[in-house]
């Protein structure tokens, strides 16, 4: 495994360890971004089930968005995941940014999810 992958894995594990220690009763809003797309999932770790998911590769979003790799796409995904989570009965979540810095697309998605009604 390359040094960069090891560093990312260590950071991801550190973030998830802190989430498990602090908030183990809420669902988790997990975010992943790639060079071309962004993905979000609401996960219930107690039952090991995905409650809701949204990504920039969904058919609805692909037609709406010019690109899946900008902050506009992240904002749209944040609004969509908030709407789906509230429809599924989830209002409070913990934000799992994974190995990504809270900046740019990750921050845009989080702020849009908050505006959509999620509490974290």
Q: Could you give the CA distance from residue 91 to residue 78 in angstroms, rounded to a whole number?
A: 14
**Domain 3-115, CATH class in plain words:** alpha beta
| pTM, two decimal places | 0.86
Cα R_g (the chain), whole angstroms: 14
What would the mean pLDDT of 69-87 be, rounded to a whole number? Answer: 96
pLDDT-derived band at 46 (thresholds 50, 70, 90) equals confident
Q: What is the DSSP letter of 27?
A: E
Q: Give the long-range contacts of residues 40-48, CB within 8 A, separation 24 or more.
A: 40/77, 40/78, 40/81, 40/109, 40/113, 41/81, 42/81, 42/84, 42/85, 42/88, 42/90, 42/93, 45/20
Give me the residue spans of the domains in the chain.
Answer: 3-115
- Under a CB-based contact definition with an 8 Å cutoff, are residues 62 and 56 in contact? yes
Q: Convert the pLDDT of each residue in 50-61 to its tens digit.
A: 999 999 999 888
- Average pLDDT, integer, range 16-40: 86
């Amino acid at each position: 495994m390359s040094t960069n992958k090891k560093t990312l894995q260590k950071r991801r594990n550190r973030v998830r360890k802190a989430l498990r220690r602090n908030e183990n009763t809420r669902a988790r809003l997990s975010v992943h971004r790639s060079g071309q797309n962004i993905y979000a999932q609401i996960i219930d770790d107690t039952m090991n089930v995905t409650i809701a998911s949204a990504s920039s590769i969904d058919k609805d979003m692909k037609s709406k968005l010019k690109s899946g790799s900008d902050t506009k796409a992240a904002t749209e995904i944040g609004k969509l995941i908030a709407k789906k989570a509230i429809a599924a009965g989830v209002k409070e979540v913990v934000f799992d940014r994974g190995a990504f810095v809270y900046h740019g697309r990750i921050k845009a998605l989080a702020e849009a999810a908050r505006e959509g009604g999620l509490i974290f």
